[in-house]
């Protein structure tokens, strides 16, 4: 099993419009926190998620959250 790379020890604060997004779960994407296909040589897959309200969101940067794609503070324990 491939372990995710910690892209950053903290969340990415992003303002998102309603729509469909793909959160990078592997930590290898150059478009953090979103997928750019860099997971292809791993057994990790991006997470598709829907946003229904324009707002600021905190997306996990450490890739170890228990509530993907959203930050739950797990980075503080790494």
pLDDT in tens, 46-61: 999 999 999 999 999 9
Residue 13 has pLDDT above 80, yes or no: yes
Residue 6 domain flag: no
Share of the chain above pLDDT 70, in %: 100
Residue 36 domain flag: yes
Mind listing the pLDDT tens digit for each residue in 25-40? 999 999 999 999 999 9
Report residue 2's pLDDT band, with 50, 70 and 90 as the boundaries: confident
Residue 28 domain flag: yes
Residue 49 domain flag: yes
Give the Cα separation of 33 and 13 in Å (integer). 9
Residues 6 or more apart in contact with residue 27 via CB below 8 angstroms: 4, 5, 6, 7, 63
Residue 1 domain flag: no
Among 16, 30, 24, smallest CA distance to 63 is for 24
* Residue range of the domain that includes 31: 12-77
Residue 1 has pLDDT above 80, yes or no: no
Phi, psi of 41 (to 5 degrees): -95, 20
């Amino acid at each position: 099993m491939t372990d995710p790379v910690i892209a950053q020890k903290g969340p990415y604060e992003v303002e998102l419009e309603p729509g469909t997004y793909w959160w990078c779960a592997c930590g290898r994407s150059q478009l953090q926190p979103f997928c750019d296909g860099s997971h292809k040589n791993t057994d990790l897959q991006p997470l598709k998620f829907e946003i229904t309200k324009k707002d600021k969101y905190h997306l996990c940067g450490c890739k170890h959250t228990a509530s993907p794609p959203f930050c739950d503070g797990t980075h503080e324990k790494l």
